[in-house]
Structures are given as structure tokens and as C-alpha cells.
Chains A and B, each alone.
Chain A
Amino acid sequence: MQASAFNEVEFFRAVATSGARALLIGRRALIALGLPVMTSDYDYWIGADDAALLNAALRPLEMLPTLDPDEAKRNGRYVIEGDEHVDVLVARGVSTIDGMMVWFDDVWTRRIYLKITDDVSIAIPSLEDLILTKKFGARPRDADDIRWLEVLRGSKP
């Protein structure tokens, strides 16, 4: 199997210039921070009203949403598919497994940027917020990711 023609830099550029408030979460964010983990898709958390902007930006890359923006908002999540699979969380707030509400607007305010190329950056949650997002799904691998993120957090000055 060959790698697809998918251009990751152009994908990140399209997201960054879409006007959507889009945070890369999930294992791709861990990889960007320096943790060598495996994943097969991209996970984003976007502003509740930003699905249309994101969809429009990715359409030229032949990446298409599975739901229209209103349906996506009602459903709380949707998928954008093309050569790659993008899971999109579109919710104002999500509860962690231990009942703490995490609000997108707060997480967005505390976001950090990581440079991909000289003219493209990605937005990800702060380390503390990324750990909270790992408590949304509460799968075994999310717990493992938190353990690793905690070590990374402990190593930061």
C-alpha cells in the first residue's frame, strides 16, 4: 500500500486559514508535542458554529463532511473524509469521565501554537487541557496517553 497523495501541510494550512476555531486533539497532538504514538486519523475539536468554515476549507482537498453543519451541531460530532479520516467534535462543552465540564471557549483561550512550516502552524490545547480531553472517551489508551502527558508536563520548566 502506498501513502496516499494527501498533503498534510496543505491540510493543516487549510484548517489554519479556514477561520474556524479548530484545535487538534487526540494522538496527533501528542505526536506534535513529541510523544511517539500511533494513530490512523485526525481529531479536531471546533467551535460549535464553525463547522461550515472548516468544511468549506477542506472541500478543495476533496475532503467531505458526513453531516451538514446543523446536523453536526445537533449530533455533537461528525467526520470529514477523503484520503484521510478526520473526526470532528463540535460541541460547546464536553463532560469528562469524572463529571467535569470542559468548555471549548475556555480551552480555545488557553490554546498553544506549534509551527509546522515557516508559514503554517497548528493550534492545540494546553497540556493541562489536552489531558482533560483525554478524559472524554476514557478508553484504555486515553489513560495511557494521560500517563505520558503527565511525564511530559513534569519535564517542562
Chain B
Amino acid sequence: MSQVPTFTAEQRAELEAWENRTLSPEEFDARVHAPWTDREREDFVALVAWFTKRYPTAGERLGAARHLASQWLANRPR
């Protein structure tokens, strides 16, 4: 049995609305300027280094992202 949580259409719509909400200028500024932890920054730099080494050109990066997105859409729990 799958252990992956699934969402109803209603829950998914609610999440989408939450993610697409417009923040107030104060909320937006606070989120932009929230301090990075050392771990967060290291992880981010490592991820970008991996991505740009694995896909050195803009064309390769865009192609890879499109491919990965279609795989994710195909395999996501419904």
C-alpha cells in the first residue's frame, strides 16, 4: 500500500491558492531577507553546482527541467 499522502481536488486547490497568494509588502520583504542558515546556503550552492555541471548549457538545463517535470506529473500520487 502506498505510504505517499494524497490530496483531494479540494485540498489541492486550497494548497494552490495558498501558494499563489499575494504577500503584503512587509511579508514579502521579510521572506526575501530571512537569514540563510549555513546549512541552507551550503545545500543551495551544492545543488546549483551539481545542476550546472550536469547540464552546462541553458538549453540542456531547460530540456532537463521539462523532462523532469513531465516525469513528476506522470508519477505524482492522485
Binding site for B on A (CB under 8 A): 1-4, 8-9, 28, 31-40, 97-98, 114-117, 120, 122, 135, 137-144, 146-148, 150-152, 155
**B29 surroundings in chain A (CB, below 8 A):** 98
A98 to B33 Cα, complex, angstroms: 15
Question: Is the beta-carbon distance between A139 and B61 smaller than 8 angstroms?
Answer: no
A38 to B69 Cα, complex, angstroms: 7
**A150 surroundings in chain B (CB, below 8 A):** 32
- Report the count of interface residues on B (CB-CB < 8 A): 34
Count, A-B residue pairs, CB within 8 A: 94
**B51 surroundings in chain A (CB, below 8 A):** 34-36
**A144 surroundings in chain B (CB, below 8 A):** 31
Return the contact of A36 from the options B22, B47, B70, B74 (Cβ within 8 A). Answer: B47
Question: Is the beta-carbon distance between B22 and A138 smaller than 8 angstroms?
Answer: yes
Return the contact of A115 from the options B23, B31, B59 (Cβ within 8 A). Answer: B59
Indicate the member of B34, B69, B72 with the most A CB atoms within 10 Å. Answer: B69
- Asked if B8 is at the interface of the complex by the 8 Å CB criterion, the answer is no
**B48 surroundings in chain A (CB, below 8 A):** 34-36, 152
- CB B62 to nearest CB in A, in angstroms, measures 6
A87 to B28 Cα, complex, angstroms: 23
Name the residue on B nearest A24 (C-beta): B62
- Asked if B7 is at the interface of the complex by the 8 Å CB criterion, the answer is no
A146 to B32 Cα, complex, angstroms: 6
When each residue 30-69 of chain B gets 1 if its CB lies under 8 Å from chain A and 0 otherwise, what string results?
0110101000010011011001100001110111011111
Question: Is the beta-carbon distance between B28 and A3 smaller than 8 angstroms?
Answer: no
A141 to B23 Cα, complex, angstroms: 10
A32 to B45 Cα, complex, angstroms: 16
Question: Is the beta-carbon distance between B28 and A138 smaller than 8 angstroms?
Answer: yes
**B68 surroundings in chain A (CB, below 8 A):** 38
Name the residue on A nearest B28 (C-beta): A138
- CB A2 to nearest CB in B, in angstroms, measures 8
